[in-house]
Amino acid sequence: MPLFEYRCKKCDHLFEELVCGDRDQSVPCPGCSSEDTEKQMSAIGGISMGSSGMPSCSTGCAGANSCASGGCPHGM
């Protein structure tokens, strides 16, 4: 299930919610229970292939042993 970020139009609370599927559905605000919420645009990180042929993160640590071995501190 994808994780989306929402903003409540009533109280301006930002929150994340796991949503089943990609259909638009009403997601109530956990702060005030209003259903007048909107999905926010979020930035996504890119994945590049390091010199070893292993995926590496887009934060500039490409080729670092921690990324290449799957222990990337940036979530790769």
In the structure, what pLDDT confidence band is assigned to residue 2 with cuts at 50, 70 and 90?
confident
Q: In what order do the strands lie in the sheet with 37-39?
A: 14-18, 3-8, 37-39
CA angle in degrees (0–180, nearest 5) for 10-39-13: 35
The reply to whether the predicted model has a pTM over 0.85 is no
Helix (H) or strand (E) holding 67: helix 65-68
The structural domains of the chain, with segments of one domain joined by +, span 3-39, 44-76
pLDDT digits (tens, 9 = 90+) for 17-47: 988 765 667 899 999 999 999 999 866 655 5
CA distances from 45 to 29, 59, 75 (A): 27, 8, 10
